[in-house]
Amino acid sequence: MHDFRYKGKYLYCEKVKLEDLAGRFGTPLYVYSYRTLIDHYLKLEKAFRPVKALICYSVKANSNLAILKALIAHGAGLDIVSGGELFRALKAGCPAEKIVYASVGKTDGEIEEAIRRGILFFNVESLPELANINRIAAKLNKITRVAIRINPDVEAKTHKFITTGKITNKFGIDLKNAYKILCMRNNFRHIRICGLHIHIGSQITESSPFVSAIKKVAVFILELKRKGIYLEYLNIGGGLGIVYDRETPQTAQRYASKIMPLLKKTGLKIILEPGRFIVGNAGILLTKVLYIKSTPKKKFVIVDAGMNDLIRPALYGAHHNILPLIKVPGAEKTDVVGPICESGDFLAKERRIPKVKEGMYLAVMSAGAYGFSMSSNYNSRRRAEEVMVKRNKVFVIRTRETYADLVRNEAK
């Protein structure tokens, strides 16, 4: 599954002892395994090779330039959601024709820049947005490509915050209205509607929601064909779940086997937008135990990583396994909490973990996706350093912020 394993009593990332990294770079520290990252990308790429799918990595999961560069070097395209992500994608060297752009709230400036750069297409989320893209393309005297994001109204069976394919969500367009838009496509003279897009949510561990959604869209595509509306792309989004705890998510191969027949039937070029699947288990967060605090009711392991570094437990009630970098015997029920002044600042609650002591280091597992990318400076804390391990080599891919960084843009 991933390259974070004990060898003897020490936890390693590939060939590097994590205890050494924590000592050398300090904590909190994000550590990524190059091999795990690429391995997960290739698993999907291979599974979908029969339809020559373009895998557009979802930048929002982890937008570090080094992560993007590594994936681009292996042939990945990118799925972006903002002007900032377009900037990152281009800076990392992604060819514009491998970039797809989704978001319910694209601004004029962002749309203009993406058209100028010649991205593959926009995933369009509403009729007013379509009209706006057409207006801006007209101003630039260009014709730009779009895919209509369909809201297939399926239940993704995941956290309500990351369900995006229900009709009550802000995302996409229902089939009926999508059809209306396709029929009036000639009104938008600076747009070519070249495809459909779906993305029903995130951290989905079973294939049935995907199958339901793709079936609906596949039927729709055939209907359109019969009516003389021909498309080129089907973008099936991302959302593949990973193992955080005891999940048993579908493999890339199994996912592909379930949906490939449907995809082939459409005859369209296929695009995928995985984020978490590729980077989730390729990263961990190292933290140091500052204090062991015993109270009459509870035992707290207080660590130096907080909700500003990893907000998933507080925001989604997410589970992350916690392992000591050096194996210790025993186990005890504890709350693992950060230094932030809120009770919401925890990494684990009422969790049995090994009997650690002050000064020891812990690894918060599966923190590669939506870890650093959601981190903040709350409590005026500097954001963590990020390093990438490649066999026995270590590369700093983002240095720790300084105090001066915190006030850089403020009036002195």
Which residues are identified as catalytic? 341
Q: What's the min distance (Å) between Cβ of 33 and a second copy?
A: 17
| Cα-based distances in Å from 267 to 105, 230, 258, 296 | 31, 10, 16, 65
Near a second copy by CB under 8 A: residue from 195, 239, 249, 338: 338
User: If binding is defined by CB under 8 A, does position 6 make contact with a second copy?
Assistant: no
SS3 for 308-332 is CCCCHHHHHCCCCCEEECECCCCCE
What type of residue sits at position 94? C
CB of 164 to a second copy, least distance (A): 6
Closest distance of CB 143 from a second copy, Å: 22
Least gap, CB of 57 to a second copy (angstroms): 14
Task: Tell me which stretch binds a second copy (CB under 8 A): 32-40, 70-78, 261-269, 330-338.
Answer: 330-338
- Cβ(276)–Cβ(370) below 8 Å: yes
Q: Are 231 and 179 in contact (CB under 8 A)?
A: no
Out of 7, 226, 246, 408, name the contact with a second copy by CB under 8 A. 408
Residues in 161-180 at the binding interface with a second copy, rule: CB under 8 A: 161-164, 167-171, 173-174, 176-177
Residues 64-93 that bind a second copy (CB under 8 A): 64-66, 81-85, 87-88, 91
**Minimum distance, C-beta of residue 86 to a second copy, in the bound complex (Å):** 9
* Tokens 């194996």, located at residue: 327
| Residue 377 touching a second copy (CB under 8 A) | yes
**C-alpha closest to that of 360 among 8, 11, 109:** 11
Q: How far is the CB of 16 from a second copy (least distance, A)?
A: 17
Query: Toward a second copy, which CB reaches closer, 257 or 376?
Result: 376
Among 295, 329, 330, 392, binds a second copy (CB under 8 A): 295
Closest CA to 129 of 104, 94, 154: 104
Task: Show the site string, 92-131: x = touches a second copy by CB under 8 A, - = not.
Answer: ----------xxxxxx-----------------xx-xx--
State which residue, 47 or 86, has the beta carbon closest to a second copy.
86
Query: Could you say which residues in the range 17-56 bind a second copy, by CB under 8 A?
Result: none
Residue 51 or 347 with smaller CB distance to a second copy: 347
Which CB atom, from 83 or from 195, has the smaller least distance to a second copy? 83
Q: Going by DSSP bridges, is the β-strand pair 283-294/29-33 parallel, antiparallel, or unpaired? A: antiparallel
Window 187-246: residues binding a second copy (CB under 8 A): 202
Task: State whether residue 240 is helix, strand or coil.
Answer: strand
Q: What is the 3-state secondary structure (H, E, C) of 263-284?
A: HHHHCCEEEECCCHHHHHHHEE
Q: Which of 384, 402, 164 is nearest to 283 (CA)?
A: 384
Bridging pattern class, strands 361-364 and 54-58: unpaired
Spatial distance between the Cα atoms of 6 and 185, rounded to a whole number of angstroms: 57
Binding test (CB under 8 A) with a second copy, winner from 145, 319, 351, 381: 381
Cα distances (angstroms) measured from residue 23 to each of 18, 26, 81, 134 = 9, 6, 36, 54
> Which one of residues 42, 143, 219, 292 is an interface residue with a second copy (CB under 8 A)?
292
Asked if 207 and 259 count as a contact pair (C-beta separation under 8 A), the reply is: yes
- Determine which residue in the list 375, 389, 390, 394 makes contact with a second copy, applying CB under 8 A: 375
Which pair of structure tokens corresponds to residue 21? 């990294």
End-to-end CA gap in the chain: 49
Query: By C-beta, is 33 or 266 nearer to a second copy?
Result: 33
Cβ 36 to a second copy, closest distance in Å? 19
Decide whether 6 or 161 has the Cβ nearer to a second copy: 161
**Of 116 and 327, which CB lies nearer to a second copy in the complex structure?**
116
Q: How far apart are CA 110 and CA 138, in angstroms?
A: 15
